[in-house]
Amino acid sequence: MNEQQYTANSIKTLKGLEAVRKRPAMYIGSTGSPGLHHLVYEVVDNSIDEALAGHCTKIDVAIHKDNSITVSDDGRGIPVDYHEEEQMSALQLVMTTLHAGGKFDNSSYKVSGGLHGVGVSCVNALSTYLKVNVYREGKKHYLEFNKGVPLGDVQMLGTTEKQGTEVTFLPDPDVFETVEYSFDILSKRLRELAFLNKGITITITDERTEGKFHEFCYPGGLSSFILYLDENKTPLHADPICFSQNKEGVEVEIAMQYNDSYNENLFTFANNINTVDGGTHLSGFKKGLTRSINSYISKNNLLKNNKVEIKGDDLREGLTAVVSVKLSNPQFEGQTKAKLGNSEIMSIVESSVVEMLGDFLEENPSTSKKIVEKCINSAIAREAARKARLLARRKTVMDGGGLPGKLADCSEHDPDKCELFLVEGDSAGGSAKMGRDRTFQAILPLKGKILNVEKARIDKVISHEEIQIIVQALGTGFGSSDSEEEGFNLSKLRYSKIIIMTDADVDGSHIRTLLLTFLFRHMPGLVENGNVYIAQPPLYKLKAGKEERYVFNDEQRDEVLKEWAGRKIGIQRYKGLGEMNPDQLAETTMNPESRRMLQVKLEDVVEADRIFTMLMGEEVEPRRRFIEDNAKKVKNLDV
């Protein structure tokens, strides 16, 4: 009998960093791009912890040409002396042992981001090599590792006037799906850290691209963050409302500003970590905001002429806010720390907002009046939108189904296998319907240009016919809402791929931008989840004799012309999808085996918000500056 026996010998204990290499996702969230970038955050967090403790003023990050990373700071330097209990240097201990570090000694770091204590040792375990230089007490020390294993003992390399720690590491390609770092993703995180820790200077250099360098330093802290976020918007009050309070050992810092846009823009942080999924501090802020403003409205009888119920959604329209809490014992959901779970934080933040925002509203009646007017108008518009939603639903029922008549649906019912093409115009829609694989491809032709939602309130958005049709087809609902019934729900999505397919001309680009603006503002979950794609139809068809070649840009066209030099070549420029036969459209743009598509990714929410506001918002001057600055970079200009 050849069956393997299950004995004590079958139980394997993973010692030291073996466990990290065996199950990396348990420690850094994933082995994809998020996990790769998380390595850098863990090392930078150590430098930030030094800054929070008052010992570091500058942090430098460099992406080298081979995608290795160097993080250096001017802190105290990791201790290098011998650790009697563990029989190794403190530097080796920190770099090779899970749950080792100064974060567990409450006197060394009062507040820390890397409280799991697995940070830099995980980076070490998941790197092909890691080199650390420590500049401490006038001496330079060096230690090198290979996949977490030290290559010898700590070396003393001489004297130095520098102070701090410098860590260089190369992520292990055997562990990660990709080892290509994104400058934008790292830059976004470092910018946040500079805002959250006023006065610290943080730089990032990309040696892969000449001259790519950012330096961040914001003495104004969260106030500077708000002004940056609202740079292209028209504020209702010139200066951000800022307050901070230390309550029950928790430091609460909040900055907020209302503007004339129709979107809420809330960012939350716990111990400098961007809690993208919110948590108890966000809930506390929302509750405190609702209580404060409703109390002010009631106290001053400001609803006497408007019989409308004001909800939390209405109070956050056009609000940009940053909520930052610092606490000694944070409980995060998962090692990637996307959501704060400490239950006591909700009431602490709520009471801080009620107390301090309440005082501000009483002391600044002119600003308070503008805020209240905005909230009341939002409530009126929301009620109109609710009626428009009901009307749209009734129409659908009376039409005899839950899907728009223009939709040519697919026969497959599993959303993971289905894709929806949003197609510009009936002509292209007709070609797409004939060229599709009706098993899993659905076609929704759109008439003209949809509403620019950047300039429209919610009632106008939901009343727009083409937007109603898109919302009905997708099935998710849309918008953020305190009511689950009205807001966006990703689990109801009917198609895993939403593919925007427009003409390769100025109008097509504009329609694509309008659709992306709508999805980003009212269905951001689709973008965050990677469901949105942009079709890449060919720009030219080249023909020589019986040979045909489709090309997607001018460079490819020139390459083929060079290759075919000396033959009577025919060039057809496609400006509209409708110019292609259904079989051509299918072959070049729709067939998964041969098509090219761009996936729309959201790597920097802050920068995306600023770009959409600038390109699609009311302010003309920032848009003109952007066009002037980028005019020389334009490709495929259609005139």
Catalytic residues: 424, 503, 505, 507
Q: Are the C-beta atoms of 340 and 330 separated by less than 8 Å?
A: yes
Q: Tokens 């503007």, residue?
A: 259
How far apart are alpha carbons 378 and 380 in whole angstroms? 5
Which residue, 67, 48, 124, 42, is CA-closest to 59?
A: 48
User: Nearest 5°: phi and psi at 468?
Assistant: -55, -45
Q: Are the C-beta atoms of 212 and 206 separated by less than 8 Å?
A: yes
Phi-psi category of residue 209: left, alpha or beta, with phi > 0 → left and psi -120 to 50 → alpha? beta
How far apart are alpha carbons 572 and 566 in whole angstroms? 18
How far apart are alpha carbons 194 and 340 in whole angstroms? 21
How far apart are alpha carbons 541 and 25 in whole angstroms? 46
User: And the tokens for 310?
Assistant: 């004001």
First to last CA, the chain: 78
DSSP designation for 449: P
Longest CA–CA span in the chain (Å) reads: 87
- Which residues, other chains included, contact 402 with Cβ-Cβ below 8 Å and sequence gap of 6+? 396, 472
DSSP 79-98: --SEETTTTEEHHHHHHH-T
DSSP designation for 492: G
Dihedral of CA atoms 520, 523, 525, 530 in degrees, nearest 10, equals: -60
DSSP designation for 221: T
Residue 220: CB atoms within 10 Å: 16
Strand partners, 72: 60, 166
Q: How far is CA 305 from CA 73, 170, 308, 373, in A?
A: 59, 65, 9, 12
Surface-to-core class of residue 403, CB atoms within 10 Å of its CB (0-12 exposed, 13-18 middle, 19+ buried): middle
Q: Tokens 């069956």, residue?
A: 3
Surface-to-core class of residue 392, CB atoms within 10 Å of its CB (0-12 exposed, 13-18 middle, 19+ buried): middle
Q: Are the C-beta atoms of 313 and 378 separated by less than 8 Å?
A: yes
Q: How far is CA 520 from CA 313, 353, 453, 456, in A?
A: 18, 29, 10, 14
DSSP 569-635: -EEEE---GGGS-HHHHIIIII-TTT--EEE---S-HHHHHHHHHHHHSS-HHHHHHHHHHHGGG--
Residue 366: CB atoms within 10 Å: 7
Distance of CA 163 to the CA centre of its chain: 34
In the β-sheet with 532-535, what is the strand arrangement from edge to edge?
441-446, 419-424, 497-501, 532-535, 597-599
- Which residues, other chains included, contact 342 with Cβ-Cβ below 8 Å and sequence gap of 6+? 279, 280, 327, 329, 330, 331
